[in-house]
Structure 1
Amino acid sequence: MNRLLLLIAALPGLSTVLYAQNSVVPSPDVQVKTAVLAAPEDKRAGATVYGYSPTNAFVLLRKGTNELICLADDPRQKGLNVSCYHRDLEPFMERGRVLKAEGKKPDEILKIREQEVKEKKLTMPAHPSSLYAYTAKEEEYTPATGEVKNGYLRYVVYIPYATAESTGLPLKPEAPGMPWIMDPGTHRAHIMINPPVSATANR
């Protein structure tokens, strides 16, 4: 058995195939490849990427050189769901991951983070900060290779405590792709931009 493992390690192509076949977690290369699909093209090569180990532990896959942090797809969920965001949002995002790992429900996470922001235990960026989310249906994503068909990209700009009045934005979109503000007046206030589906497919 040890000789077989050594042989596999010496054959990168075979190793990748076996990794994909024997684990629900895609290889690190595939995780990085799909995670950065959420980022603008000129930001992909330098983005930091977090993903999952073969045992589903959340780990650093690649240390980046620019301001974006990308999260690989959670292999326990159906389909593809990856995101990239400005590094100044990391305390907020990381706190959410920690609370989720502790078993907290979504509404509990919202309340806890809101209280911690008010108590200045958790810091939100003082400037607008972007997040990009890229998704695809289960039948349009191949985890073993990272191939994606008809993916959808949407944009979020966090602007804490902004309101419809302070931004001039509506509370809901009145046309496809129209920006609007969600959770106005709160620490998690953000501008939502959902382009028409055909506009972001096959990135």
Structure 2
Amino acid sequence: MKTLFTSLLFASVLISCNSSDKSKDTSEESTEVATTTEATAQTKKQLKSIETDDDLIATALMAAPAESRQNTKVIGYNMAGEFVTLKEGDSEYIVLADDPKKDGFNAACYHKDLEPFMARGRALRAEGKSAEEIFEIREAEVKSGEIEITPGSALHIYYGPNTTFDPETSKVEGAKLRYVIYTPFATSASIGLPETPTAPNHPWIMDPGTHRAHIMISPLVNEVE
């Protein structure tokens, strides 16, 4: 009888402990979820829309290397829809800001030696030329030497689906960096890269054999800046 009583008492204590532990685990889990939700909410509250020319400048400069942002020139459409110089600069880079009239976010940073090539494309586009026409015109002009593309010149593209950003860091929500390295008239055989991507973040050559031949380096799927 004493043995039975002891067994029942032990079982009762064990059940009580298990219930207490489960309650504790549930409580801790709820606290953790609440904390995570609160942190996410705070992060969301910190984001703001791109609404001013200063916002355009700050977010566009995220396409440039950090050490050059202060002295880099920024051009592009302002909030009024005018193509202007948004910020003066004398670094080796030029940054093209996101067009606020278009969906999503897309800013580009390139070496200043590429400006004649880039400017020619913008001018032809403004004339109403199609992408195919622009390609053919610049192909002829590069071949004739009228426009020069220095091999190895890089283009940094900062892009994403959103137009909200953190005003403290200027990082655009969900934006990533993609890199282009121009290698005019190069081919897969001449530089030893495939003509199609084999995996994310692996370099490959696009538009081989043309003036726009370039090495593409795209971000990993889960890589967010």
TM-score (structure 1 length as normaliser): 0.80
Partner-residue secondary structure (3-state), 1:148: coil
Partner of 2:137: 112
More helix by share: 2
SS in 2 for 1:150: coil
Query: For 1:1-203, what aligned pairs fall within 5 Å after superposition?
Result: 26-125=51-150, 127-137=151-161, 140-142=162-164, 148-199=172-223, 201=224, 203=225
Q: In the alignment, what sits opposite 1:16?
A: none
What letter is aligned with 1:129? S
Corresponding pairs, count = 176
CA deviation vs aligned residue, 1:137-185 (integer Å, no higher than 9, x gap): 1xx3228966621112110000111111111111112122110001111
Where structure 2 has 5 or more consecutive residues not aligned to the other structure, the ranges are: 1-47
Please say if residues 152 and 197 of structure 1, whose CA atoms lie closer than 8 Å, have aligned partners that are also in contact. Answer: no
* Distance in 2 between residues matched to 1:96 and 1:65, nearest whole Å: 22
> Matches of 1:143 and 1:111 in 2, distance apart?
37
Alpha-carbon distance between aligned partners in 1 of 2:108 and 2:160, rounded to the nearest angstrom: 12
Query: What is the TM-score of this pair, normalised by structure 2?
Result: 0.72
CA RMSD of aligned residues (A): 2.1
Relative to structure 1, the CA distance from residue 194 to residue 110 in structure 2 (aligned partners, 3 Å threshold; closer, same or farther) is same
- Which amino acid letter does the alignment assign opposite residue 197 of structure 1? V
